[in-house]
Amino acid sequence: MFVDHIGSYTGIFGIYISCYLTFNITGSVALMDLGFHDWGTLESWLKNKTVPQAAISDSRKELKLKFPDIPVLSDYSMDPGDDFWKIFPSKTLPDKPQTKIDIVELEKMVIDVSQKGLFSPTQLARASTVIDNLKKGAPSNQQGDLPGCFVANAKSTLQYGREVTDAVAYWVENGFVAGPFQQPPLLRFRVNPIVAVVQDDKVRLVLNVSSPNGNSFNSNINKLGLEKVRMSSARSFG
């Protein structure tokens, strides 16, 4: 798969995420929901202190697939062929940012709360920024343009290729991502690797945007352009 800016499912087809990510299917996919209950681990990932590693387990439960009709491949590193893609869901690339949020209603609520004096100047500024981002798309705060890249997925994505494929098919079917594409749909197309993290009842896809070293999305972020946010969890107050 291919991914622009943040993600990919490397290989034959490109998939595009609502927040301007694109992928393809013989290599990498983007992260939508970590789903972890261990907040300590999650916080360490967000602070870039550790890189998620695949948990390899041969004793996991039988996983329920959302797209059981998609053919099972003997080798997920190879081109699956045209018949495979005839069954696979597809979505076209949107021409503008998309959201399920009713922006007009949200804007009315912000104005109403502001007129009642319930917003501080900082809160009003944040609300205005959110609305603007929903309309135009959120900036990635990059220091400069990154060149294209193609970084292979972790081996775990091939080991659990059926589950990874099923997850990507679900994203496409529900409009979270777009694709497949015969050619990269964007200039300077970037394919970042994914890791398949095995849990008891599912395989989670984790996108590594700290790769490649020295030329990654994360290393190119302009930290001065970001507002510092503190992360809290129930455990922090417990």
Confidence band, pLDDT 50/70/90 cuts, at residue 23 = very low
Contact call for residues 1 and 23 (beta carbons, < 8 A) = yes
Q: What residues have CB less than 8 Å from 113, skipping those under 6 apart?
A: 119
Alpha carbons 163 and 68: distance in angstroms, whole number: 10
Cα torsion 80, 82, 88, 93: sign:
positive
How much is the pTM? Answer: 0.66
Instruction: Classify residue 125 by its DSSP letter.
Output: H
Q: Is the pLDDT of residue 44 over 70?
A: no
Q: Which of 58-67, 131-140, 174-183 has the lowest mean pLDDT?
A: 58-67
Instruction: Classify residue 207 by its DSSP letter.
Output: E
C-alpha distances in Å from residue 182, one per residue of 1, 23, 147, 169, 214: 10, 11, 20, 16, 29
- Average pLDDT of the chain to the nearest whole number: 77
Out of 34-48, 136-150, 219-233, the most confident range is 136-150
Kindly state the tokens that stand for 142: 């990059």
Give domain limits for the chain: 15-95+140-226, 98-136
Q: How high is the pLDDT of residue 53?
A: 55
Nearest C-alpha neighbor of 47 from the set 235, 218, 222: 218
Q: What angle do CA 158, 70, 175 make, to 5 degrees?
A: 90
Q: Is the pLDDT of residue 2 over 60?
A: no
Task: Average the pLDDT over 180-201 and give the result.
Answer: 87
Return the higher-pLDDT residue of 99 and 231. Answer: 99
Q: What residues have CB less than 8 Å from 159, skipping those under 6 apart?
A: 56, 196
Task: Average the pLDDT over 80-97 and give the result.
Answer: 90
Task: Average the pLDDT over 93-114 and give the result.
Answer: 92
Q: Which of 21-25, 73-77, 182-186 has the lowest mean pLDDT?
A: 21-25
Confidence band, pLDDT 50/70/90 cuts, at residue 25 = very low
β-partners of residue 195 are 206
Task: Average the pLDDT over 194-218 and give the result.
Answer: 90
Task: Average the pLDDT over 81-88 and give the result.
Answer: 92
Task: Average the pLDDT over 44-61 and give the result.
Answer: 54
Alpha carbons 101 and 134: distance in angstroms, whole number: 8
Task: Average the pLDDT over 30-36 and give the result.
Answer: 36
Q: How high is the pLDDT of residue 207?
A: 86
Return the higher-pLDDT residue of 40 and 199. Answer: 199
